[in-house]
Amino acid sequence: MSLLNNFRRPILCYVTDRRSLAGATQLQSNESLLRSISAAAEAGIDWIQIREQDLSGKEYAALTLEAVRHSKKASQHRETAPRIHVNDRLDVAITTQAGGVHLGENSIPPREAKRLLLIAPKAQSLRDDFLVGISCHSLEGAKSAVRDGADYIFFGPVFTTPSKMKFGAPQGLERLAEVCRSVSIPVLAIGGITLENAVSCLDSGASGVAAIRLFQDASGSASVIEALRKLTS
């Protein structure tokens, strides 16, 4: 919690999905994604979650390293670069010296991820500055995440969104507020987040929002991030 207390609110997290970007080949889609990451970093995004589940471990690590490099270069004029989180792959997060790992409900438990951080030689430099988050889709799942040592939660889908249809009907703002009231760690709302409904999520108690499409458009991410900052200032 002490580490997360240092983050400004709201926390804005860009979740990547290069397959939704134009690009006939993996190389082209990677390049498009890195442009989006650079644009979001330059505009002041707080976190970037690399979520490219179709890649091999080697490809995932290579893309993550490029994401770190691009985000640092693009945010040179800012006090800090975005924190890079790796979706699900703790091994990739450790290898690339990322800022955190984001787990799914069916991934290894947060407590086990933290245990592995303590024993992995390459993780020694990460232990005091590494976040372990988890996606939750129910109140009990959120409470379990807290008991299991998660640093933060993604809760959703709050609104209707194609990327989260497999998780069932939207949870809605009332359920989001219930989860935020019931847990002691930051909750980021995810699923169908737009510029218009983001403030409602924050008013419901969320510490931030996470989204793919809201931040993925390289030409529009700067205006979106600036607008969110103004709406919540």
The structural domains of the chain, ordered by start, are 4-231 (3.20.20.70)
Q: What is the pLDDT of residues 24-48, one digit of tens each?
A: 687 888 999 999 999 999 999 999 9
At 32, which amino acid appears?
Answer: S
d(CA 216, CA 15): 8
Taking residues 106-114, report their average pLDDT: 94
pLDDT of residue 1: 44
Cβ-based neighbour number of residue 60 at 10 Å: 23
* Distance separating alpha carbons of residues 211 and 191, to the nearest angstrom: 7
The tens digit of pLDDT for each residue in 81-94 reads 999 999 999 999 99
Average pLDDT over residues 110-134: 91
Quick one: average pLDDT of 204-217? 93
Mean pLDDT of 157-173: 79
Please provide the average confidence, as pLDDT, over all residues in the chain.
91
Report pTM.
0.93
Phi, psi of 14 (to 5 degrees): -90, 120
Cα–Cα distance measured from residue 22 to residue 37, given in angstroms and rounded to the nearest whole number: 15
